[in-house]
Amino acid sequence: MQKKIFLYIGIGIVAISIVASVSLISNDGDEKFNTLSLPELEFTYDDSNSKLKQNLEFFDISMSKPIKLINRNYLEEFCTFFENEDLQKQVDYCTSTELRDSEGKYLGNIHMVGSRQMPKIILALIQTDPFMQNLDDVKTVYNVVIEDLVCDCWNEVQPGDIETVARWVDKQRDFHTSDTKPTSKSNLSLSGMRLQMELTTNTEGYLWKLLISG
């Protein structure tokens, strides 16, 4: 659909602007990361994108070849993810991929930003309709992203006493739809990494964001 062009990284470079002004908050849910230097994650852009693409295919979700941005002007225009300027200055490299479901319909994007060697932040975006008919795709993508890039240990650890990633998604949906605020956030820690789920009501329905950092 033409009206979704602002979300499409595969269609045009204008896509990434949809995720501007994301704020990371710490595990206690009160404190924002300000001038802290985010650590590099323990995997490369190519390896992580390749692994995600391969494993998402098992669930009939296709992932495009990543677009890579390194030019400072492009990074500032299309990869501005942080409200804090000191954090934003740490973005020296950015990759973005597009996700489509089994019928070829657009689902969302996976962005990775950080140094030129390794990512520091993973951001998985999925747009759902007002009835969240593709909520199972949200659960599938987020489960694969967490298993591949954090650990395959959720069932054993059960962070926040939440049994599964799917249950975390359900809890976020229930909390968000029972409130009147346009955006809600939930934060967990798993295997030494920070996970933040953000849900925003928009004109298309609901925009889901999963952020992973060290």
pLDDT-based confidence at residue 3 (cuts at 50, 70, 90): very low
pLDDT-based confidence at residue 196 (cuts at 50, 70, 90): very high
Instruction: Convert the chain into a string of H (helix), E (strand) and C (coil).
Output: CHHHHHHCCCCCHHHHHHHCCECCECCCCCCECCCCCCCCCCCCHHHHHHHHHHHHHCCCCEECCCEEECCHHHHHHHCCCECCHHHHCCCCEEEEEEEECCCCCEEEEEEEEECCCCEEEEEEEEEECCCCCCHHHHHHHHHHHHHHHCCCCHHHHCHHHCCCHHHHHHHHHHHHHCCCCCEEEEEEEECCEEEEEEEEEECCEEEEEEEEEC
Mean pLDDT of 160-182: 95
Which among 23-32, 54-63, 88-97 has the top mean pLDDT?
54-63
Query: What is the average pLDDT value for the chain, to the nearest integer?
Result: 83
> Residue 131's pLDDT is what?
95
Look at residue 101 and tell me whether its pLDDT is greater than 90. Answer: yes
pLDDT-based confidence at residue 155 (cuts at 50, 70, 90): very high
> Residue 104's pLDDT is what?
93
Look at residue 156 and tell me whether its pLDDT is greater than 90. Answer: yes
More confident residue, 59 or 15: 59
Mean pLDDT of 107-120: 93
**pLDDT tens column, 6-48:** 333 333 333 333 343 444 443 343 344 444 677 889 899 999 9
Mean pLDDT of 156-176: 96
Going from N- to C-terminal start, the domains of the chain cover 2-22+35-213
Mean pLDDT of 61-74: 92
> Residue 36's pLDDT is what?
61
